[in-house]
């Protein structure tokens, strides 16, 4: 159960909530028609930020962890969605192999993998967990508090197929973000379903590509709702191949930052928003650390320059150069007592199956740039993404969660567009 | 929440439960493959009886009422299943017209219709309620306790389409069992989706046809599980066109009853069951009253003969003749205190979305033949049809509910076979 959350009870997000509710049949129909043309990414976790005056997805994970934070009441929805997904992809499936991250160390990650395995087992699949970590050379049982444990088996690769000992899966579910690129052991698998596909790996994804796709679908949904799409997406820009000592590049980047801040200021003025606008600089390569820096005004740019020149912010592998995404910062205005609460929405196939709040346990964390902040999960009330009609905007948890679910599905749709654009086999369909 | 139920904790049903759990991936795969070949009936409510030594569906409603007895925790599942169903049938749908029974009088039926409308509204469809009752000549608001109300509008038929004023649906959902046959106003609708189809109406359905289809799928599932299929289906026989004064017909019917009783006695002996076997006589036409009589032994047959000759049991429209289904009686051994508790499982598309116990409020009711007995609903615990592995058979509510869900889906599959057999357009596909 979610205690009462302190949220801005007035302003554009409440109007947006009313529009979303009023347009619900149109929204659902729009998604249905989109899913006729585009295949939803198998599963996702979408971080959503409610700034009170706008609402947007700020990160879309295609290899979501945190499944253990879903409540038992949400599990039937996840299982039903998993059943429907399997039925569409591979109805004759018997066996599913789940491939987790290589370093399965934290208890919460282990609990997440165990929960995922449980979902697919209950959806009717024999489920085993296969590690591609070269350090796992024999079946290894990892146990954690509460008597739970997980059996990790080393994967076995034959010429055409991947499995574990005495287990030949027809579907391989990746929960490994392939940050360092797809290892050879996962390549050239054509007889088995690999979900999500290898090009969903972080080494291939670019934040700017996702931002562009998200902008595109947000604009179309905005038109459908008759609202300014800025209310549901963050403005952004990008700057390629920045390196520390490059003065010309620096001037260009600084100019872009100022231009983006100006755009945001105009929007804030249009809506009478008193907050200070800010821009978040992120590495464009999804496999690099998320936030490089937060810029609020000209003097921050100068500080950033010094840090960049000192090499402090370079985060590419060679420490020298990286493509940069400049993204409008979206405040998280929802609070649980004094802590920031950021909703995370989980999807499976095209369905929202649950979610929870990441509640910041450190003062000031949850503000942009708070890398390494500690979060505790706080599950949504179960069933709360079903709208309640006839409620005043801003007072109904379910209506707010339904709106979050719409924004999350927008990010899911953007991810589908994104994967279509990077699909190495795409030309085969043309 | 369901209080502790008194159930037989030993015997064949517990072995069956263990088999069902152990075979879960095979069962789910089997259903997935069946649904590739056969279209699930849009929705259903399946009455299941757990006799302790066997478990079987005893009635399958294709126009289910009682949706109001599902808990709010079950609604998200129903909504998600409705979304998936609509997406498959008619993704471009905007409007849905729900057609309830003509005499919408009881509060519980009104609440059920309101719940159904809510499910489809939340699944993203504009939903209106259109009455085909000739007595409804103008929009009529029916209100009941708790401030709830329902707007019933008279349907408007044009040459090709059905709707209500200023509302043109693309999908028409029947919650009217068409007991008296499909009225002309529903015929020749080819541009809109009519769900379920007209031949699912009670005037067309025959209990013997459903029993045959159920036997067929139960035998196949029994083989898959490696169990005697008798554990999951009732034996049956049929007798056509019986009329009261017909001595030859009477002798034939009596002979069939005795033969069926003998078969059941043999099965009881095989399993060491001490209960008294019985046969239930039902009208084969689904639109006629369910149970005609219960027969336990030879002297009951004699009593039945006298009643038949006195015309007491004739229930066909002309009072003279009806086809008879002879069905093995299945005891309901589950008890809530002293009352009989009979599970009813709800499905939407291919998914089990919830269920509840009909708990008898009258002593002795729930026994076969207890026409007119009063029932109160008692919802299953939410989420309880997801199995819990590693539990001893017979002690886990969720495992029992999962097994009930399997039997209910067996009845759903049988209904799909049944509707294929009676589809008037079937030859079009051959």
Tell me the pLDDT band of B392, cut-offs 50, 70 and 90. Answer: confident
Instruction: Give the pLDDT of residue A312.
Output: 58
Tokens matching residue B15: 């072995």
**For an interface test with B, which of A32, A40, A86, A384 has the most B Cβ atoms less than 10 Å from its Cβ?**
A32
Instruction: Give the pLDDT of residue A301.
Output: 78
User: What's the pLDDT tens digit per position in A367-412?
Assistant: 444 444 556 676 666 555 667 777 777 777 778 889 999 999 999 9
On chain B, the residues whose CB falls within 8 A of the CB of A29 are 91-94, 124
For residue A58, is pLDDT > 50?
yes
Quickly list DSSP for B211-249. Answer: HHHHHHHHHHHHHHHTS-GGGGS--EEEEEEEETT-HHH
Nearest CA in chain B to A28: B124
Q: Which contiguous run of DSSP H or E holds residue B116?
A: helix B107-122
**For an interface test with A, which of B20, B27, B28, B349 has the most A Cβ atoms less than 10 Å from its Cβ?**
B28
Q: In this structure, are residues A295 and A304 in contact, taking their beta carbons and an 8 Å threshold?
A: yes
On chain B, the residues whose CB falls within 8 A of the CB of A81 are 80
User: Tell me, what's the ipTM?
Assistant: 0.86
Q: Which of A88-97, A100-109, B158-167, B366-375 is predicted least confidently? A: B366-375
User: What's the pLDDT tens digit per position in A173-225?
Assistant: 999 999 888 999 999 999 999 999 999 998 899 999 999 999 999 999 999 99
Instruction: Determine the distance in angstroms separating the CA of B126 from the nearest CA of chain A, rounded to an integer.
Output: 6
For residue B429, is pLDDT > 50?
no
Instruction: Determine the distance in angstroms separating the CA of A140 from the nearest CA of chain B, rounded to an integer.
Output: 21
Other Cβ atoms within 10 Å of A92 Cβ, number: 10
On chain A, the residues whose CB falls within 8 A of the CB of B36 are 91
Place of tokens 């959350």: A5
The four Cα atoms A270, A273, A275, A278 give a dihedral, to 10 degrees, of -30
Instruction: Give the pLDDT of residue B376.
Output: 67
Q: What CATH code is assigned to A68-204? A: 3.40.50.11280
Smallest Cβ distance to A73: which of B73, B87, B389? B73
Long-range Cβ contacts of B253-256 (<8 Å, 24+ apart)? B253/B324, B254/B301, B254/B305, B256/B326
Instruction: Give the pLDDT of residue A4.
Output: 42
Instruction: Determine the distance in angstroms separating the CA of B56 from the nearest CA of chain A, rounded to an integer.
Output: 22
Cβ distance A28 to B125 less than 8 Å, yes or no, reads yes
Cβ distance B77 to A72 less than 8 Å, yes or no, reads no
Q: Which of A174-178, A330-334, B174-178, B292-296 is predicted least confidently? A: B292-296
Query: Is some CB atom of chain B closer than 8 A to the CB atom of A398?
Result: no
Query: Is some CB atom of chain A closer than 8 A to the CB atom of B88?
Result: no
Cβ distance A76 to B385 less than 8 Å, yes or no, reads yes
For residue B368, is pLDDT > 50?
no
Tell me the pLDDT band of A97, cut-offs 50, 70 and 90. Answer: very high
For residue B409, is pLDDT > 80?
yes
Q: Which of A295-309, A310-324, B218-232, B358-372 is predicted least confidently? A: B358-372
- Domain residue ranges in chain A: 68-204, 235-328
Comparing CA positions, the residue from A220, A207, A271, A215 lying closest to residue A52 is: A271
Tell me the pLDDT band of B1, cut-offs 50, 70 and 90. Answer: very low
What does the pLDDT average to over B312-329?
67
Query: Is some CB atom of chain B closer than 8 A to the CB atom of A83?
Result: yes
For residue A244, is pLDDT > 70?
no
Smallest Cβ distance to B77: which of A76, A126, A387? A76
For residue B393, is pLDDT > 80?
no
Tokens matching residue A169: 């899966």
CATH code matching the domain that covers A235-328, chosen among 1.10.10, 1.10.1660, 3.30.1490, 3.40.50: 3.30.1490
What 3-state DSSP class applies to B61? strand
Instruction: Give the pLDDT of residue B384.
Output: 53
Cβ distance A91 to B382 less than 8 Å, yes or no, reads no
Quickly list DSSP for B383-420. Answer: TTTS--TTPPTTS-HHHHHHHHHHHHHHHHHHHHHHHH
Cβ distance B122 to A386 less than 8 Å, yes or no, reads yes
Query: Is some CB atom of chain A closer than 8 A to the CB atom of B87?
Result: yes
Instruction: Determine the distance in angstroms separating the CA of B313 from the nearest CA of chain A, rounded to an integer.
Output: 45
Tell me the pLDDT band of A288, cut-offs 50, 70 and 90. Answer: low
What does the pLDDT average to over B133-146?
91
On chain A, the residues whose CB falls within 8 A of the CB of B32 are 86-87, 91-93, 124
Helical ranges in B141-285 per DSSP H: 207-225, 247-270
Tell me the pLDDT band of B313, cut-offs 50, 70 and 90. Answer: low
For residue B427, is pLDDT > 80?
no
Instruction: Give the pLDDT of residue B369.
Output: 40
Nearest CA in chain A to B78: A77
On chain A, the residues whose CB falls within 8 A of the CB of B26 are 94
Which of A 303-362 lie inside 8 A of B, CB atoms? 350-351
Tell me the pLDDT band of A138, cut-offs 50, 70 and 90. Answer: very high
User: What's the pLDDT tens digit per position in A342-360?
Assistant: 889 999 999 999 888 888 7
Is the bond preceding A45 in cis, omega lying within 30 degrees of 0? no
On chain B, the residues whose CB falls within 8 A of the CB of A33 are 91-92
Q: What CATH code is assigned to B67-204? A: 3.40.50.11280
Instruction: Give the pLDDT of residue A426.
Output: 73
**For an interface test with B, which of A75, A84, A391 has the most B Cβ atoms less than 10 Å from its Cβ?**
A84
What does the pLDDT average to over A147-153?
92
Smallest Cβ distance to B122: which of A83, A86, A387? A387
Instruction: Give the pLDDT of residue B292.
Output: 67
How would you classify residue A392: left for phi > 0, otherwise alpha for psi between -120 and 50, otherwise beta?
Answer: beta
**For an interface test with A, which of B86, B122, B379, B406 has the most A Cβ atoms less than 10 Å from its Cβ?**
B122
Phi then psi dihedrals of residue B325, to 5 deg: -100, 130
On chain A, the residues whose CB falls within 8 A of the CB of B124 are 24-25, 27-29, 32
Q: Which of A173-177, A260-264, B65-69, B287-291 is predicted least confidently? A: B287-291
Query: Is some CB atom of chain A closer than 8 A to the CB atom of B381?
Result: no
- 3-state SS record for chain A: CCCCCECCCCCHHHHHHHHHHHCHHHHHHHHHHHHHHCCCCCEEEEEEEECCCCEEEEEEECCCCCHHHCCCCCHHHHHHHHHHHHHHHCCCCCEEEEECCCCCCCHHHHHHHHHHHHHHHHCCCEEEEEECCCCCCCCEEEEEHHHEEEEEEECEECCCCEEECCECCCEEEECCCCCCCCCHHHCCCCCCEEECCHHHCCCCCEHHHHHHHHHHHHHHHHHHHCCCHHHHCCCEEEEEEEECCCHHHHHHHHHHHHHHHHHHHHHHHHCCCCCCCCEEEEECECCCCCEEEEECCHHHHHHHHHHHHCCCCCCCCCCCEEEEEEEECCCCCCEECCEEEEEEEEEECCEEEEEEEEEECCCCECECCCCCCCEEEEECCCCCCCCCCCCCCCCCHHHHHHHHHHHHHHHHHHHHHHHHHHCCCHHHHC
Query: Is some CB atom of chain A closer than 8 A to the CB atom of B36?
Result: yes
Look at the pTM and tell me if it is higher than 0.80: yes
What does the pLDDT average to over B85-112?
91
Instruction: Determine the distance in angstroms separating the CA of A75 from the nearest CA of chain B, rounded to an integer.
Output: 8
- Mean pLDDT value across chain A: 85
User: What's the pLDDT tens digit per position in B275-285?
Assistant: 899 998 888 88
For residue B317, is pLDDT > 50?
no
**For an interface test with A, which of B76, B117, B406 has the most A Cβ atoms less than 10 Å from its Cβ?**
B76
What does the pLDDT average to over B170-180?
93
Q: Which of A328-337, B168-177, B299-308 is predicted least confidently? A: B299-308
Instruction: Determine the distance in angstroms separating the CA of B242 from the nearest CA of chain A, rounded to an integer.
Output: 46
Q: In this structure, are residues B324 and B281 in contact, taking their beta carbons and an 8 Å threshold?
A: yes
Q: Residue A28: which residues within 8 A CB-CB, separation 6 or more?
A: B83, B123, B124, B125
On chain B, the residues whose CB falls within 8 A of the CB of A86 are 32
**Secondary structure letter of residue B273 according to DSSP:** -
**Top-confidence range, A119-128, A141-150, B100-109:** A119-128
Instruction: Give the pLDDT of residue A171.
Output: 95
Which of B 103-132 lie inside 8 A of A, CB atoms? 121-126
Other Cβ atoms within 10 Å of B323 Cβ, number: 18
User: What's the pLDDT tens digit per position in B22-75?
Assistant: 999 999 999 999 999 999 999 999 999 988 889 999 999 999 999 999 888 888
């Amino acid at each position: 159960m979610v205690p009462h959350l302190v949220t801005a009870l007035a302003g554009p997000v409440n109007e947006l909530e009313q529009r979303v509710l009023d347009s619900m049949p149109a929204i659902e129909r729009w998604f249905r028609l989109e899913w006729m043309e585009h295949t939803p990414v198998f599963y996702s976790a979408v971080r959503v930020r409610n700034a009170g005056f706008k609402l947007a997805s700020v990160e879309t994970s295609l290899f979501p962890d945190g499944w253990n934070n879903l409540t038992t009441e949400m599990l039937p929805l996840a299982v039903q969605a998993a059943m429907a997904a399997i039925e569409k992809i591979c109805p004759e499936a018997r066996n599913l192999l789940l491939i987790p991250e290589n370093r399965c160390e934290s208890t919460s990650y282990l609990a997440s993998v165990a929960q995922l395995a449980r979902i697919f087992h209950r959806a009717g699949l024999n489920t085993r967990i296969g590690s591609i970590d070269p350090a796992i050379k024999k079946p290894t049982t990892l146990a954690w508090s509460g008597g739970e444990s997980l059996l990790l088996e080393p994967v076995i690769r034959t010429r055409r197929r991947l499995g574990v000992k005495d287990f030949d899966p027809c579907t391989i579910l990746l929960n490994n973000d392939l940050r360092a690129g797809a290892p050879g052991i996962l390549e050239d698998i054509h007889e088995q379903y690999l979900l999500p596909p290898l090009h969903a790996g972080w080494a291939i994804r670019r934040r700017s590509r996702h931002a562009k796709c998200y902008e595109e679908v947000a604009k179309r949904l905005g038109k459908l709702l008759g609202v300014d799409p800025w209310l549901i997406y963050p403005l952004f820009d990008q700057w390629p191949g920045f390196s520390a000592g490059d003065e010309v590049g620096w001037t260009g980047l600084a100019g872009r930052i100022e231009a983006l801040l100006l755009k945001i200021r105009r929007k804030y003025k249009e809506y009478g928003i008193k907050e200070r606008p800010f821009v978040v600089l992120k590495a464009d390569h999804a496999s690099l650390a998320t936030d490089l820096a937060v810029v609020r005004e000209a003097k921050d740019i100068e500080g950033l320059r010094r840090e960049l020149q000192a090499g402090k912010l370079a985060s590419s592998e060679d420490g020298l150069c990286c493509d940069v995404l400049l993204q409008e910062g979206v405040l998280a205005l929802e609070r649980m007592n004094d802590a920031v609460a950021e909703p995370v929405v989980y999807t499976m196939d095209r369905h929202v199956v649950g979610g929870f709040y990441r509640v910041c346990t450190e003062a000031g964390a949850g503000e942009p740039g708070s890398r390494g902040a500690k979060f505790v999960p706080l599950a949504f009330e179960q069933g709360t993404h079903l709208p309640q009609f006839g409620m005043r905007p801003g007072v109904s948890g379910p209506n707010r969660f339904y709106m979050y679910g719409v924004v999350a599905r927008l990010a899911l749709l953007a991810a589908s567009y994104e994967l279509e654009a990077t699909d190495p086999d795409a030309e085969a369909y043309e």
